[in-house]
């Protein structure tokens, strides 16, 4: 299978490298030039002879611009598989544009971070037609461990932002609870042993514990070097609030999480740190 891969950053480069072990991959990025992948001179060149074109881009505005460039160059019947995390409206607009050029489209944002991209263990949340999903499913099997078809175009993005809104809220609550436990004299290991096996359990506690030396290995054990950066969490929480406003959905906890991560990233020391670094943030604070 011939694959064009546009957007070879921290996530895209290892995803493309995994695909190149089994398929013919031609890549393009305005900055990166990964070794082991044939590089094209433009996004349109990378897309022109591909059966599937994958994009992994920073935001909806860039996705729309790249789609406008590549769709006229793509072969009729080929598939545009977008793995970016963008707003739902952009995903649906790009899918409609693809269809107008005789193409299929799937929006399939990912969960699993840089480690998941490198190890081929990502989870994909896909929106689009059944036929298009079936065409790209073999690639999901190479790049990840699970792919869920969530419905029509845009529903992959909807699933991603809903999931990450929960993640942002639960990580904040987990960090707050650890600091409260500290101040009440409760040992962190005892706290983990109780919560991880009872009603307070969550992925933020059980799998990605923000307390160093507690639970499975996580960025907390590596000085909060990002597996999932705080500024990326802020991006996803902003997308969730944009969607909530458009859908007239009341999401006060999602809004509160968004505001806390905005303060952490934009006014404190959160930029460039893992999103679980909310724990040392709360450790330094007192009740106002």
Distance CA 102, CA 79 (A): 9
160 carries an active-site annotation? yes
Kindly report the backbone phi and psi dihedral angles of residue 21, in degrees, each rounded to the nearest multiple of 5, phi listed first.
Answer: -70, -20
Q: Is 39 in a helix, a strand, or coil?
A: strand
Residue 267's Cβ-side half-sphere holds a number of Cα atoms within 13 Å equal to 5
Distance CA 128, CA 155 (A): 8
Nearest-CA neighbor of 59 among 31, 90, 29? Answer: 90
Are 277 and 283 a contacting pair, CB within 8 Å? no
The active-site residue, picked from 2, 160, 235, 284, is 160
Tell how many helices (H) and how many strands (E) occur in the chain: 12, 9
List residues with catalytic annotation. Answer: 160
């Amino acid at each position: 299978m011939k694959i064009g891969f546009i957007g070879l950053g921290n996530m895209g480069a290892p995803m493309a490298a995994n695909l190149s072990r089994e398929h013919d991959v031609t890549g393009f990025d305005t900055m990166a030039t990964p070794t082991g992948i044939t590089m094209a001179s433009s996004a349109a060149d990378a897309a022109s002879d591909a059966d599937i074109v994958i994009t992994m881009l920073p935001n909806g505005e860039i996705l729309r611009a790249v789609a406008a460039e590549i769709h006229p160059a793509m072969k009729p019947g080929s598939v545009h598989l977008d793995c970016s995390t963008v707003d739902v409206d952009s995903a649906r607009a790009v899918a409609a544009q693809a269809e107008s050029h005789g193409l299929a489209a799937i929006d399939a944002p990912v969960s699993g971070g840089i480690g998941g991209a490198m190890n081929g263990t990502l989870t994909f949340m896909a929106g689009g037609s059944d036929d298009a999903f079936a065409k790209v499913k073999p690639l999901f099997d190479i790049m990840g461990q699970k792919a869920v078809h969530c419905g029509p175009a845009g529903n992959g993005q909807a699933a991603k932002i809903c999931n990450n809104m929960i993640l942002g809220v639960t990580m904040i609550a987990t960090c707050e609870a650890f600091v409260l436990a500290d101040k009440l004299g409760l040992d962190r290991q005892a706290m983990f042993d109780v919560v991880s096996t009872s009603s307070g359990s969550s992925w933020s506690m059980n799998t990605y514990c923000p307390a160093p030396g507690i639970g499975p290995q996580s960025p907390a054990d590596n000085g909060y070097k990002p597996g999932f950066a705080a500024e990326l969490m802020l991006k996803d929480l902003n997308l969730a609030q944009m969607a909530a406003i458009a859908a007239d959905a009341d999401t006060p906890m999602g809004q509160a999480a968004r505001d806390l991560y905005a303060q952490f990233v934009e006014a404190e020391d959160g930029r460039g740190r893992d999103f679980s670094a909310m724990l040392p943030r709360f450790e330094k604070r007192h009740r106002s």
